[in-house]
Amino acid sequence: QVQLEESGGGVVQPGRSLRLSCTASGLTFSTYAMHWVRQAPGKGLEWLAVISDDGSNEFYADSVKGRFTISRDNSQNTLYLQMVSLRAEDTALYYCVMAARYEFDYWGQGTLVTVSS
């Protein structure tokens, strides 16, 4: 079955950087677009970024554009999210999501990022 496992979350000070990873198994990773979606504590879902199956295209939500970078390594079945200049409002559970089309088919369990001094 499809498994997405996020890692790299933790507690980080405001202004610092963090890189999240997501390792996929159970499907042909290189044929799926991949997304990051986050959920602040007690809040709703917020889409952050998408990268095409071959990594040639990326799109971002305005809230993270210029601070977050999505990338992937199809040889390692791994998705990344590089986050810089972190703010308290970036505190959230970050989900890795796999999408065949425009809906989100498979979700990981998330990795928690806490931005606090």
Partner 1 sequence: SYALTQPLPVSVALGQTARITCGGNDIGSKNVHWYQQKPGQAPVLVIFSDSNRPSGIPERFSGSNSGNTATLTISRAQAGDEADYYCQVWDSSTQVYVFGPGTKVTVL
Which position among 1, 13, 41, 44 is part of the footprint of partner 1 (CB under 8 A)?
A: 44
Cβ atoms 2, 98 nearer than 8 A: yes
CA distances from 75 to 27, 29, 34, 81, 85 (A): 13, 9, 15, 17, 29
Residue choice 59, 71, 74, 77 for contact with partner 1 (CB under 8 A): 59
Does 102 interact with partner 1 (rule: CB under 8 A)?
yes
State the DSSP code for 29. Answer: G
Rule CB under 8 A: say whether 80 interacts with partner 1: no
- Residues lying near partner 1 in the complex (CB under 8 A) are found at 35, 37, 44-47, 50, 59-62, 95, 101-105, 107-110
